[in-house]
Homo-oligomer: A and B are copies of this chain.
Amino acid sequence: MSDKYNYKYVKNALGRMVPREIDGRKLKPYKGAFETKGGIRKYGPVGSKSLPGDNKMLKSLKEAIKATSLKSGMTISFHHHLRNGDGVVNMVVDAIAQMGIKDITLAPTALFPVHEPLIKHIKKGVVTNIQGSMNGPVGEFISYGGLPTTAILRTHGGRVRAIEDGDLHIDVAFIAAPCADDYGNANGVYGPSACGPLAYSDADAMYADKVVVVTDYMVPYPCVPYSIPSTHVDYVVKVPSIGDPEKIVSGTTRITRSPTRLLIAQYAAKFIIDSGYFKDGFSFQTGAGGISLAITKFLGEEMERRGIKARFINGGITKFAVDLFRSGLTEVLYDGQVFDTHSIESFRDDLHHVETPMTMYANIHSKGCLVNRQDIGFLGATEVDVDFNVNVNTHSDGLLLHGIGGHTDVAAGAGLCMIVIPSYRKRLPIIRDRVTTVTTPGETIDVIVTERGIAINPMRKDLVRRFKRSALPIKPIEQLKEEVEKITGIPEPPKLKDRIVALIEYRDGTIIDVVREVKR
């Protein structure tokens, strides 16, 4: 394999060709889900000093940018707890652009449609690299070759690993804080832009050279509880607003009403209940997707019926998880992000609803993270393939439109990892011979549940055996694929150019796949 970009390729453990080097960065091919050696010494962040009378309050973002000595060529980071309501990324990059700073690497945990204005900054050379998840327009822009360098996508656990291992050095972290004091202690539970935990920023605060807290709601020192401690914060800036509360969390999260999706949820719940994992003291991860919420609800009903309690739910927390918690059906809620106002209140007020720093959530180079102890996870996908590899990043047309989140992390950790998806979308089949992009390796996926049938990964002989006589519509994945293709036909492969526009990094830092430029 060769092309005009002179990539030197190597085949990784999934048979995907990945470059040995790109943009001057040496790369390692993916070797298997659990092949990491570990033992890499953690990055030693730059120290500081702390004297009485130090003043961290600055009058404007520009003053803060100046104080951090941010220069062209540096890397800045953000969290995405404010999701599509975030005002801080655009605000900071606008200020940077106005100050004539260029060639910035953005390292957000994720970007959303609200961040579309970044495109103009990319076009003008203000932003020249992105390392982070991209949901929507910025990802699409990059798919068409808009970024002059190669983007890097990482999982939640992979990002914190990269920071701790020194692979991702952050010069300045800008932390949007719904509530803060003048010394930089910050939380996400008070103020007009309350969002719950600030867990995505934990490592940024700890490892960035300089840390700026940006808030629109200040409390007298000390801001307690704090997700971000003053010990990690250099400067605090108060701005009129950090975001649009309506788009940060929803007042309500809703279960799917689609009969197809409800059927998927019913199949998934039934599979879980029969799997052997559903017993007193079990644990599961849930998110805010419509199918995921429905499964949570069905599991809750069955737990009540059987008198079974969960030990913990790992989330993405919504009202549905909080309701289980409040009715005593789970003892602990582990919370990386919340999706509705109801959940913010629970997180704020309950000592057993705790924040999950990302290294605790999923860092494969920690000494023991949460996903490893999780019994069940149910996850989405844009595509799966007959090897059970999962794509969550690109669509079948090749466009990079979604981030990874904790997908790969949960798949690797959970005892039972289930993909819950409709068998086709917009007449495109979801089960493919080969996913357009591998995000999560098939060896970590146990079951794929669609409305048309359930496929068990043959590597899970125990599950295959267990469900041999099940009334559930269990079938080989190839058969499921053929049934769907009879309805949808086999779609054209995406029209791709040679150029690699993004790398998909596995949670251990190896390259699991690449994303190529899409032809217009």
Chain A residues at the B interface, C-beta cutoff of 8 Å: 34, 36-54, 56, 164-166, 183-184, 211, 220-222, 224-225, 229-234, 281, 311-312, 331-332, 334, 348-349, 351-352, 354, 357, 359-360, 363-373, 412-413, 415
Contacts and interface: CB of A to CB of B under 8 A. Distances in A.
B49 A364 contact: yes
Given A222-B311, A373-B221, A47 B365 contact: yes
Given A44-B41, A351-B351, A352-B224, A50 B364 contact: yes
B50 A368 contact: yes
A289 B211 CA distance: 39
Given A222-B311, A349-B351, A351-B351, A412 B52 contact: yes
Contact of A49 (B36, B229, B352, B413): B36
A53 B372 CA distance: 7
Given A44-B43, A224-B352, A367 B231 contact: yes
Nearest to A205: B367
Residue with the highest number of chain B CB atoms closer than 10 Å, among A53, A56, A369: A369
A23 B231 CA distance: 33
B222 A51 contact: no
Given A224-B352, A311-B221, A373-B221, A366 B281 contact: no
Nearest to A314: B222
Contact of A366 (B34, B39, B48, B352): B48
Contacts of A354: 224-225
Contacts of A211: 367
Contacts of A166: 44
Contacts of A43: 44
Contacts of A371: 52
A334 B165 CA distance: 32
Given A39-B46, A225-B354, A349-B351, A368 B165 contact: no
A350 to B, nearest CB: 9
Given A183-B368, A183-B373, A46 B52 contact: no
Residue with the highest number of chain B CB atoms closer than 10 Å, among A37, A48, A165, A357: A48
B222 A165 contact: no
A360 B224 contact: no
A209 to B, nearest CB: 10
A347 to B, nearest CB: 11
B44 A184 contact: no
A38 B42 contact: no
Given A354-B224, A366-B231, A39 B50 contact: no
Given A44-B42, A44-B44, A334-B222, A233 B368 contact: yes
A231 B184 contact: no
B38 A368 contact: no
B39 A48 contact: yes
Contacts of A52: 34, 371-373, 412-413, 415
Given A225-B354, A363-B231, A368-B231, A41 B36 contact: no
A233 B372 CA distance: 14
Residue with the highest number of chain B CB atoms closer than 10 Å, among A166, A312, A360: A360
Contacts of A311: 220-222
A384 to B, nearest CB: 21
Given A230-B360, A233-B367, A367-B234, A351 B225 contact: yes
A230 B41 CA distance: 18
Contacts of A56: 368
Contacts of A47: 38-42, 164-165, 365
Contacts of A230: 360, 366-370
A341 to B, nearest CB: 18
Contact of A370 (B164, B222, B281): B222
16 contacts: A34-B52, A38-B49, A39-B46, A42-B46, A50-B363, A50-B369, A53-B372, A221-B311, A222-B311, A222-B373, A224-B312, A224-B332, A225-B351, A225-B352, A230-B369, A231-B369
Contacts of A50: 38, 363-369, 372
Nearest to A36: B49
A484 to B, nearest CB: 31
A359 B39 contact: no
Nearest to A47: B40
Contact of A220 (B221, B233, B281, B412): B281
A439 to B, nearest CB: 19
Nearest to A359: B231
